[in-house]
A and B are shown apart, each in its own frame.
Chain A
Amino acid sequence: MSALSALIRRDIRIALRVGGGALIGVLFFLTVVVLMPFAVGPDLALLSRLGPAILWLGALLASLLTLDRLFMADHEDGSLDLITMSRTPLELACAAKALAHWLAAGLPLIVATPVLGLLLNLDMVATGAVALTLLAGTPALTFTGMIGAALAVTLHRGGLLMAVLVLPLSIPVLIFGVAASQAVIVGPMTFGAPFSILCALSLVSLVVGPFAAAASLKHGLD
């Protein structure tokens, strides 16, 4: 356990230091959402209808932005070799790294959501619903994205491949995340059904992601 908490603490510390990934994601999220009202124009009703979709898209792209480096940095400086050799199972180490990434890069997005909701003319309830769906859905983005990040290391290709591999996996999360938030704002669906599926997606990826990523890393030993 202390090995995993050491890994989580190290990754969060690196992400929060100058040049780390945490701030980049939040800044990107801020930029996308702040620019959107200027692009769409001053139609408040339209903005509030698009609001959840904009917040979700922004959060999705922001969390993918730094995810491709999840294993690449450790691979390049040799840390991944030592992590592979260690007494900690690789699956658990992968899960710990993804959790650290979510804590450092995903959680700040959710914290920023209420502020950005104001810009999109979302009321308290709607903003709360979007933040709740992001809380339930972003772990799925991180843990499925981790598979792409591991493959990027295995195949020695970076960024673009990662986006191509991961984006299809994140489509269901996006659909049900936006559907659940829309249900609160315009109806007529209930919030519960899409939200439960969103939670299910997160739980499945929590289990599948670490095993798939570890299998990919082991296969790519080189």
Chain B
Amino acid sequence: MQLSGRGVICVRGGRHVFSGLDFEAGAGEAVAVVGRNGSGKTSLLRLIAGLLIPAGGTIALDGGDAELTLPEQCHYLGHRDALKPALSVAENLAFWADFLGGERLDAGESLATVGLDHAAHLPAAFLSAGQRRRLSLARLLTVRRPLWLLDEPTSALDVAGQDMFSGLMREHLARGGLIIAATHAPLGIDSRELRIGGMG
């Protein structure tokens, strides 16, 4: 499986964020997208996720499921965590598992992995920022997707949480998955660096 971008141009609000960007990632490989604030790290992830339309260039995933589009094979973990405060932790996770579909794991097991099994019946409104992030990670575990797009994944996680997450990423890569992560902090795994928007 191979994700590749050729000459990708991103224009936001009439401003060229980046242009002529080439990148590549193979199965089992992690790419850390680095650059200063506003250099287009989040935009790049959203371009791959199909949430932005590139102004030029192509992004393609070779060797994936031919029946599915690229966004359908991605997990996108953004700044906003797609959780409903009125629903409990278990209900939030069960909804995304049912809605996203495909191959999946037991939701209770993923909650235990991210350390939220004791809070399964708590409304998401009462979760801390770190717990919300852990619940978002449980979505990545419950529903299997080959490509993970992570935007500042370790923000709000404590040290133990970051270790737990590094372990999860290693497992994902060992299964032949891909990770593209926009980050300022080290990911804690072996990764290739993709610098955009010059030095910063």
Contacts and interface: CB of A to CB of B under 8 A. Distances in A.
Interface string A88-116: 10000000000000000000000000000
A161 B53 CA distance: 26
B145 to A, nearest CB: 10
A87 B102 contact: yes
B51 interface: yes
Contacts of B81: 77-78
Nearest to A3: B99
A83 B51 contact: no
Nearest to A96: B99
A196 interface: no
Interface size classification for chain A = 20 to 34
A19 interface: yes
Interface in A14-44: 14, 17-20
A85 to B, nearest CB: 4
Contact of A85 (B51, B87, B101): B51
Interface residues of B, number: 27
Most buried by A among B78, B83, B86: B86
Nearest to A83: B99
B118 to A, nearest CB: 22
B100 interface: yes
B76 interface: yes
Interface in B57-101: 68, 71-72, 74, 76, 78-84, 86-87, 91, 95-96, 98-101
Given A78-B81, A82-B82, A85-B74, A3 B101 contact: yes
Contacts of B78: 78, 81
A10 interface: yes
A188 to B, nearest CB: 50
A162 B40 CA distance: 32
A207 interface: no
A85 B49 contact: yes
B86 A17 contact: yes
Given A20-B86, A82-B76, A86-B72, A6 B98 contact: yes
A2 B99 CA distance: 7
B84 A85 contact: no
A14 B87 contact: yes
Contacts of A17: 86-87
B50 interface: yes
Nearest to B136: A78
Contact of A77 (B82, B95, B100): B82
A84 B51 contact: yes
Contacts of A79: 82, 84
Nearest to A19: B86
B74 A77 contact: no
B129 interface: no
Given A5-B98, A10-B84, A82-B82, 4 more contacts: A20-B86, A78-B78, A79-B82, A82-B96
9 contacts: A3-B98, A6-B99, A7-B99, A9-B95, A17-B87, A79-B84, A81-B82, A82-B96, A88-B101
